[in-house]
Structure 1
Amino acid sequence: MRGTKLKYGAMGAIACAAIGAGLAFTAPAAAEVSEETAFVFNTLLFLIGGFLVMLMAAGFAMLEVGFVRTKHAAAICLKNIALYAIAGVMFYLVGYQVMYGGETAFFGMPAVWAPSELTGDAEIDLSTGYASASDWFFQMVFVATTASIVSGAVAERVKIGPFFLFVVVLTAAIYPIQGSWEWGGGWLDAEFGFSDFAGSTLVHSTGGWAALAGAILLGARSGRFGPNASPMQPSSLPLATLGTFLLWFGWFGFNGASQLALGSAADAVAISQVFANTNMAAAGGVVTAYVLSLILGRGKANLAYCLNGALAGLVSITAEPLTPTIMDAILIGAVGAVIATFGAKLLELVRIDDVVGAIPVHLFAGIWGTMAVPLTNSDASFYGQAVGVGAIGAFVFTASFAVWLILKMTVGIRLSPDEEIVGGDLSELGHAAGSIFASPEGKDPVPAH
């Protein structure tokens, strides 16, 4: 469903079939929109969806800043804004061509829009169904999301420079290669009917596998586990809550615009259903995580569980947000929250340090959401889904582990013990999160005239 090479007319027909039994829509001939109108609406969908997903970059940043200790807050902000920029540049230079065909270009300026779109409006080729640059923008923000997932899991001990080098490889090669297997019309799509509507596996589990490899090779934060373990208080749970709300909001673009068309009434109905299911899966995740936290906390609720419960619900529904009923979506999100909650406990048991819970939320819940697709979509099979999950997991984890290992053996990937004690803000940036504009004496700076 997510392959961008489909024409909007075909996608509208698919949406009609997927809306559900008992609902029929027959548009009178006079109500059919023109090719140009459909082109405009489809393009608008990509652009709106794209900037909503871009807002998720802010959500990841605030979530991560809220969960880390204060002495790492500024470093986290730098990581998040820079990884978004790096992802865009690398996806333009290399990744998009790898994922959707065409020659890669390490040097030069590959075009991502049709030649006709460089001329006047009257000469634009409308047969593609949307402006090519709008499609590229929408695809680009997805790869940035994958990189953001990795950032949270390895926070507080990874060096910024080596992390950026990993992001270069992830966004230029690892993500596009596995993405081409499904959304690029590759072997998973053609031979096994693997279905991942908006990326429970292709985006979220991919980020989770890459994060798991990094977390294993980095090791845990000093003092996180063992007999001398000390509590590591998050800097600001209100900021983490704001980040969760931003992610929840941006997810409507993530899933809704993955319908890839808004040129017909059928597409409009489908997108509406995707919005409703996306929202309610998150709601199911929050309620379930709240109840679980009460049980595990002996009557005391845990806000962090609830925040990750919302995200786990969103990740779970992402593989198929169109075909479930609203009750199905609530249950899918609820199961995702259970998996993420106990997945975090499992990581603690095996002493894998994941600061924000990215691996349980994005990897574990992503696998669940992908495997749940056949429960509501008869066009998918459990075998095909399992092949996709296994193949992508094996490739991404192996490739990511190799890249992290090479970086570890060459430039090093972890802060020194002293740097970790001081914190990433002072050791790598030279300033704390709130003091960059303060004078050395702590007084307010004198405004320039």
Structure 2
Amino acid sequence: MNQHGVRWTSEQVLALAPDDASRRAGNKLGAAGPWSGTGSSGSGGVWGLCKGSGSKPYQTVVDTTGPACKCSCPSRKFPCKHALGLLLLWAADEEAVRDSTTPDWAEEWLEGRRKRATDKEQGDAGTGQSADPEAARRRAERRAGRITAGATELERRLADLLRGGLAAAEQSGYGLWEETAARMVDAQAPGLAARVRELGAIPGSGPGWPVRLLEECALIHLLDAAWLGIERLPEPLAATVRTRVGLTSPAEGPPVRDRWLILAQYDSSDGKITTRRIWLYGRESGRTALLLSFGAAGRSPQQALPVGLTIDAELTPYAGAGQLRADLGEQFGAPVAIASPPPGGPTAAALEGYGRAMRDDPWLDSWPVTLSGVIPVPTSPGWQLADADGGTGLPVAPAALARPGLLKLVALSGGGPVTVFGECGHQGFSPLAAWSEDGSETVPLI
């Protein structure tokens, strides 16, 4: 045990893996056999030498306070299989990875991380002081003009589609939408481009596609109209519109220090960029926060947090309706295991919360909620989470039905009530973490 709290569980380690292949490879390296020179420190460092195919072992070091890692292997994944294997060994066998003096090669990297963090904190106050605000204003105006031109063109194309009839969308195929999306990219509106690309897949999505296409066209028209009249919107909604069209802004709200429960972490990819989502809940503030990080060109996102732990840390929120997204700042003290799940409610309260959130952000796909006292029940087709007291139920989203996490949830329940954290949206509920009735252990579901 080190001063940074409990050693992680194997599930918490494997939750950091970028994909299933990394999980399998990491599991194979989670035994003492291939390792030598292992150790850990009270400041959160874990290190070891792993025998590979070459003459020299791979040097692997992990900073569990990040977490972050470095390995001399050529893998572009983060964390690599050696870092996962080392953490699995550290989590399961205190004798194999004992507290010891940090070797020079590991200390150099760990000390460098600490120095960079200190330099960043000292430099943040001066960031932007030397920038030319007038030049920045002109760049922002030019980009806003291009987005306005793109939104105007998109409105014409939507009008042409509706004038010619939705059947034309099935005949024209995906090429029309890809070309339109490319025009939105040229207009520097990646948010609009992403929504347009989604239109191209709807005509081939099965029965009822014209209704879904009309709904999506309406949402895009609403976003276009909001951008074209953004000066008349209240600032929180205007900030949301800017984000939805693809304009980025820094996290600049007042920092919120809290004991943050790490509830879930998962990746999604559009083929070019991998997006990692980490959900946190503040025990004192009652706020739910979303950390986003990105990886391009086959690289996994660098930010990763072990699900099931609580960290004392500062988060800085972004502007916009809901203010869910935040950046992780300074961490204080020792991470500890989640003692109990976040407070939850019945399925009706989850739907009400999603509805309230949509008033502030009509383009919202889902909203984070915690359900308490629910039981997974099979339906035809699929599953639903039903209130144990005989109230209403929420269908499990189609995308979640194929995940192994659903079977873990059913096994955890055993026909009894459980607490489940997940995302509630128009397609149903996606379970991400669960707790049994006694709330003693966090079970990741993704």
TM-score range, shorter chain: under 0.3
Which protein, 1 or 2, shows the higher relative CO under an 8 Å CA cutoff with sep ≥ 6?
Answer: 1
Report which of the two has the higher share of strand. 2
Give 1 or 2 for the bigger CA radius of gyration. Answer: 2
TM-score by length of 2: 0.23
Report which of the two has the higher share of helix. 1
